[in-house]
Amino acid sequence: MSAIRELADCRILRPLLGVAKARLVALLDGERQPFITDPSNRDPTFERSRLRGSGAVPVGTDVAALLSDICKLGRERTAHERKSDRLLAQAVALHPAGFAVLNPSLALAPSDVAERALQAIIAAIGGNLYPARGERVARLRWILAGALRRGHTLGGCRFVYWRHRLLALRELARAGRPVRLTPGTSLLWDRRFRVELAAAGTEGVTVGYLGYSGVVALNRQRTELYPRGLPRLVYPILPAVWDKEGIAAVPHLGYRREGCAALPEFNFRPINPLTQAGFTVV
């Protein structure tokens, strides 16, 4: 268990992980201080609870040596995470429209580091609650590192080669459905975008991805859609706004229909950031 855990709106610190439970219980008993026992510690749904109840540590085990080995593994995990984070910083650029541009050399890094980095990219771009399976990530790395330069999909993401780079896009077929937003409200849409509509507006709007039909409709209204230099591959998965008259805006293309009402603000805040606070051993 990490001594630090980052959540969306807070940081959890566990400064007492290195103190034996018996010492903590004795201190609280001596102070006549009630304490709370986490019921999940006895829930067999969790692996840690099953291990505790299975007698996984045989009688006579050198507990001090075992704890030393556990700390060593924790430090190794920290080292692996730092290598992966360094690779992400060097080879990945996140765009506020919700996609990433990758240097193809990422797939050529040592397999364990590259696969950990790819898993983080999939989690951030795909907005998944659970990480992609290791064997599938390994296959993705093998495909992307191949000479054929083929694209691939995994975990709600598309990996597509573009101008000597690799794009990681939200897979449209797996993306969140359009939602209605009323004035003065905000929501986390598709587990990736924090969307907020000011209370000053008088009418609600619908937010969703532009889609292929939206690209066609927008092309009919505007002959050039290159004000931001975005690759056309990403157009269908750009956040867009609709009102009763049709497409009102595509913020990341710089498009806003004249005369439309107040528009929502989009902030790319995926439930899985590309990097998090590293694993910490106490």
Question: pLDDT by residue (tens digit) across 178-198?
Answer: 999 999 999 999 999 999 998
Radius of gyration of the chain (CA): 24
Bigger pLDDT: 50 vs 56: 50
% of the chain beyond a pLDDT of 90:
55
Q: pLDDT value at position 258?
A: 84
The whole-number average pLDDT for the span 40-65 is 75
* Confidence class for position 9, pLDDT limits 50, 70, 90: confident
Lowest mean pLDDT among 71-75, 167-171, 259-263: 259-263
Whole-angstrom distance, CA of residue 113 vs CA of residue 60? 37
3-state SS class at 221: helix
Calpha distance 267→196 (Å, rounded): 9
Q: What is the per-residue pLDDT across 245-269, written as a single tens digit (0 to 9) for each?
A: 889 999 999 888 888 878 899 999 9
Which whole number is the average pLDDT over 164-168?
94
Q: How much is the pLDDT for 224? A: 58
- pLDDT in the model for residue 56: 62
pLDDT at position 159 is 96
pLDDT tens sequence across 203-234: 889 999 999 999 998 888 765 555 567 888 99
What integer pLDDT is reported at residue 19 of this predicted model? 87
Using CA atoms, how far apart are residues 195 and 240, in angstroms rounded to an integer? 11
Q: Label residue 17 by pLDDT band (50, 70, 90).
A: confident
Q: Of the candidates 168, 165, 170, 205, which has an alpha carbon nearest to the alpha carbon of residue 184?
A: 205
Please report the pLDDT score of residue 33 as a whole number: 94
Which of 2-11, 95-104, 109-118, 259-268 has the weakest average pLDDT? 2-11
pTM given for the model = 0.82
| pLDDT-based confidence at residue 172 (cuts at 50, 70, 90) | very high
- Domains of the chain by start residue, with CATH: 4-56 (no CATH), 77-173 (1.20.59), 175-268 (no CATH)
Per-residue confidence (pLDDT) for residue 131, from 0 to 100 = 87
Average pLDDT of every residue of the chain: 88
Average pLDDT over every residue of 10-33: 90
H-type alpha helices, the chain: 21-30, 47-53, 63-91, 111-126, 134-144, 211-221
Structure confidence at residue 40 (pLDDT): 83
CB neighbourhood size of 158 (10 A)? 21
Q: How far is it, in rounded angstroms, from Cα 17 to Cα 271?
A: 26
For 219, residues 6+ apart whose C-beta sits below 8 A from its C-beta are: 225
Instruction: Give me the pLDDT at residue 228, please.
Output: 61
Going by pLDDT thresholds of 50, 70 and 90, the confidence category of residue 11 is: confident
Q: What is the pLDDT of residue 57?
A: 66
Share of the chain above pLDDT 70, in %: 94
